[in-house]
A and B are shown apart, each in its own frame.
Chain A
Amino acid sequence: AQKVTQAQTEISVVEKEDVTLDCVYETRDTTYYLFWYKQPPSGELVFLIRRNSFDEQNEISGRYSWNFQKSTSSFNFTITASQVVDSAVYFCALRNFNKFYFGSGTKLNVKP
């Protein structure tokens, strides 16, 4: 069975703190894709990053970085020097060939 777990329901930090959002997945497929999406208070879903199962390279994009570890089935997301604009719900998702599975989301509150 496929499953994505985001154990952190809600996180609150003060601006400029670093914060890591955890994502653990389960799948028996050898080919799969992992994603992170951001849902700001306005409600739309914004794509942040994609990783396929054969690409374990970590990635950094500005203040965002992602750590993909197949050995622990984790795909964690770190925001460095958080800002108020980072306040949102973040979803981790898994895709096999034909279906998507989303975690329950982590609400990040960044306080000034």
Chain B
Amino acid sequence: EAQVTQNPRYLITVTGKKLTVTCSQNMNHEYMSWYRQDPGLGLRQIYYSMNVEVTDKGDVPEGYKVSRKEKRNFPLILESPSPNQTSLYFCASSLIGGRGTEAFFGQGTRLTVV
């Protein structure tokens, strides 16, 4: 089954404790990205990657890091989480162009930083 898998689904952590949210896709998509969803703001793109070893900032990259060492994986790293990073996070993948440009989303990770 074609899917994007995020882990964990729920995470409560304390301020300053480094964490990683994993994301993996099995569709051989070149493009992967991370979003955060906050009430009234919709989804905002944090980082995206056009291919292995190619990453770039989205609209809200501060406080986050990513890496793309393999085509299928795109982990999101919070080196020193703060309470304002409490949010619902989504990973997504897609093709680059043509008829497959829609993003396929993971199930989401609800992060609470206390």
Q: Tell me the bound Cα distance from A33 to B31 in angstroms.
A: 15
Using CB atoms, name the residue of chain B closest to A97.
B97
Contact present for A44 and B42 (CB under 8 Å): no
Q: Tell me the bound Cα distance from A43 to B31 in angstroms.
A: 22
Q: Tell me the bound Cα distance from A44 to B90 in angstroms.
A: 9
Contact with B along A76-111 (1 / 0, CB 8 A): 000000000000000101010111111111000000
Interface size class of A (residues with CB under 8 A): 20 to 34
> Counting CB contacts under 8 A, is A35 at the interface?
yes
- Using A98-B48, A99-B48, A99-B58 as known contacts, say yes or no to A104 and B42 having CB atoms under 8 A apart: yes
B68-105 contacts to A (CB < 8 Å) = 88, 90, 92, 96-97, 99, 101-105
A88 to chain B, nearest CB (A): 14
- Using A33-B101, A44-B107 as known contacts, say yes or no to A100 and B42 having CB atoms under 8 A apart: no
Contact present for B108 and A50 (CB under 8 Å): no
Number of interface residues of B (CB under 8 A): 27
Contact present for B90 and A45 (CB under 8 Å): yes
Which residues of B have CB within 8 Å of A93?
43, 103
- Using A44-B105, A47-B103, A98-B50 as known contacts, say yes or no to A104 and B41 having CB atoms under 8 A apart: yes
The chain B residues found within 8 Å of chain A, CB to CB, are 31, 33, 35, 40-45, 48, 50, 56, 58-59, 88, 90, 92, 96-97, 99, 101-105, 107-108
A-B CB contact pairs (8 Å), 24 listed: A6-B42, A9-B40, A35-B102, A43-B88, A44-B105, A45-B90, A45-B92, A45-B108, A47-B103, A50-B101, A50-B102, A52-B101, A91-B42, A95-B101, A98-B48, A99-B45, A99-B48, A99-B58, A100-B48, A100-B103, A101-B45, A102-B43, A102-B44, A104-B42
The chain A residues found within 8 Å of chain B, CB to CB, are 4, 6, 9, 33, 35, 37, 43-45, 47, 50, 52, 91, 93, 95, 97-105
